Amino acid sequence: PNAIAEVREAVDFLRYYAAQARDHFANDTHRPLGPVVCISPWNFPLAIFTGQVCAALAAGNTVLAKPAEQTPLVAAQAVRILREAGVPEGAVQLLPGRGETVGAALIGDERIRGVMFTGSTEVAGIISRNLAGRLDAQGRTIPLIAETGGQNAMIVDSSALTEQVVMDVISSAFDSAGQRCSALRVLCVQDDVAERVIRMLKGAMAEYKVGSPEHLATDIGPVIDAEAKANIERHIKTMGDKGRKVHQIARAQGDACSRGTFVLPTLIELDSLDELGREVFGPVLHLVRYPRARLGELLEQINGSGYGLTLGVHTRIDETIAQVVNVAKVGNLYVNRNIVGAVVGVQPFGGEGLSGTGPKAGGPLYMYRLLGARPQDAVANQLRQESGATAQAEAKAPLAALRNWASKQDPALAALCDRYAALSQSGRTQLLAGPTGERNSYSLLPRETVLCLAQEKADLLAQLAAALAVGSRVLWQDDAQTRTLLSSLPTEVRDRIALVADWATGEADFDALLHHGDSDQLREVSKLAAARQAARGGAIIGVHGLHRGETDIPLERLLIEHALSVNTAAAGGNASLMTIG
């Protein structure tokens, strides 16, 4: 089933990006970046590899494809098929090898114009720092699209149907031997029902068979290699030595497990989420109990981990669903269903924070990040043409206040406010096609804080208008010019701006950076941003450079994407539970 689903996903990627290029792109207006490096992981050796390569090709780029060192043969077959289908030999080059050698050489080559990476958060940070300070011929930074791991959680309250919870937990945590980016790592169960859930979960685990995937009776195969097996087993032993309850119950098929890299599915009961550090990439599920009254604190803890890939919630209470949906900082959220198996175009996939830079794979913004130039209204026009879209939120009040202020003393800025208001897609929610009994929606939300750097007053105000148009807060470097400008602005606008003495070393947080200036200044800013990320260990910050006086600010880069998938058929049982506060 995993192999069939992966082939299907690869086909979905090919069709999705080809349709986007056909319907919305034009050779004379949508210009490619140039040579793009695609570094793909071993856990989806066909689907992710194909998704990266075909998106870059569909946007008009040439591709240097570096598959994971564990899975070069699948990648070789994929490239062979692409060439049989008519992709020119020079358009995609397969470069198998180790990351430390082939990958490092590719990233370090001055000729590359973009990097797509799926893998660990640590390696994404290394790539980001290697790209810092490098610009293309137009004086732009080299874009990095990184999709990394997650400490993915599922919240289960006492109203949830235990049988359905256990079924979805088993598939989320142990399918593909837990070797999915989206796999369930932490199960958070309301303490009232924890014992019942654990008892049923252990019973389900006892029915699972571990062994060679060549046997149809096998439920769980091996982990990728001996190093992965050793790391996982070391974590399990460490938790056991700490006194945590460790359950390994599944059955091994024959003697194959004694020779291969197999790890029995494992359930570990923890006292707190704080006991977890980095992601354990394998068939290991951690369980934490929480009291109903502290659901809000639990959500804060999950957000506080810094990861933001997937989150699940099982409940039959609408208010609980709304609370989780409104607070969770994750790219993909699932309600009353499993949290794996995202479908291209139905659940666009990708996280935020430590889980990735965006945009989402299999989503409408992905290919735009692979372009060197496009019309300023291209993204807005495409999203407006998509079926199932609802009207986005009304124009933001601070932007209206800035526009009114500018109309009296800066007509060019007033016109810019109107243009950004018309182009902004922040607040847009779109229903996506999906199976009966499931509701899938895609939303665009503002990044919380945008650092705006410029020497010219007009450029600072353009950046401010762009950030206010999507609903972000603004951070300015504290100097004489920004203090004077800030004091002259309306109160509604001032309330959205903060000053920082030294953004490169200060504690003020931001999740996007706009810079107007020359190439030398942009190189320095890019290096400082990368050094800041390395020192703080936080998320990779996108640096978007513009030339002085340029107003074509890509508003989509100030947005984050959320995908919500709701199993609408799961509210069965006692319908009165849906109305309980």
Residues with catalytic annotation? 147, 181
Alpha helices in 59-188 (DSSP H): 72-84, 104-108, 121-131, 162-174
Q: What are phi and psi of 569, to 5 degrees?
A: -90, 0
Q: With 0-12 CB in 10 A as exposed, 13-18 as middle and 19+ as buried, what is 259?
A: exposed
**Which residues make Cβ contacts (< 8 Å) with residue 31, sequence separation at least 6?**
60, 371, 372, 373, 374
- Displacement of CA 477 from its chain's centroid (Å): 29
Q: Rounded to whole angstroms, how far apart are CA atoms 5 and 424?
A: 36
**Which residues make Cβ contacts (< 8 Å) with residue 522, sequence separation at least 6?**
135, 139, 141, 515, 543, 545
* Dihedral over Cα of 175, 177, 181, 187: its sign: positive
Residue of 214, 52, 29, 64 whose CA lies nearest to 119: 52
- For helices 318-327 and 295-304, angle between their N-to-C axes, nearest 10 degrees: 30
Tokens encoding 550 = 């340029």
Buried b (16+ CB within 10 A) or exposed e, 367-377: bbbbbbebeee
What CA–CA distances, in Å, run from 218 to 71, 173, 221?
Answer: 22, 16, 7
Q: With 0-12 CB in 10 A as exposed, 13-18 as middle and 19+ as buried, what is 389?
A: middle
Q: Count of residues for the chain?
A: 581
Q: Rounded to whole angstroms, how far apart are CA atoms 554 and 512?
A: 12
Q: Rounded to whole angstroms, how far apart are CA atoms 261 and 211?
A: 10
| Beta-bridge mates of residue 516 | 546
In contact, 182 and 362? CB cutoff 8 Å: no
* Dihedral over Cα of 363, 365, 368, 369: its sign: negative
